[in-house]
Structure 1
Amino acid sequence: METRSQLFIGRSGQGSNKHRPYSCLRIDVKGEGQPKFIVRPLVAEWYQRRWCDREIEPFEI
């Protein structure tokens, strides 16, 4: 089974309204016999000369 990402966080806007997101993933491994991976997208965005955090729901694979 192939899984493709449906999550895209990219730059948008122009001039002083430009959004500049930076992202990474945190992956927690849980479970004993068969592992479960909890994926937490982490996003910080530079917008209007300050850093903002974006909340994105974690998901399990």
Structure 2
Amino acid sequence: MNSKSDTFVAVDIVGAGIGETVLVVSGSSARKAINKGDIPVDSTIVGIVDEVEISKKN
């Protein structure tokens, strides 16, 4: 997130739970993800992240 706040509202189409790490799309991708182009949606949760691995750069 590059906005002033890290808080936003998103449509959840995968049933994510509180505290889960999720994958979010925004803009026209958010509208396409819910298959309803006429609904004003800015962000949609499209996946639940199982694992995050961060490697150190040498």
TM bucket normalised to smaller: under 0.3
Query: Normalised by the size of structure 1, how large is the TM-score?
Result: 0.24
Larger RCO (CA within 8 A; separation ≥ 6): 2
State the structure with more CA Rg: 1
- Higher share of residues assigned strand: 1
Query: Normalised by the size of structure 2, how large is the TM-score?
Result: 0.25
- Higher share of residues assigned helix: 2
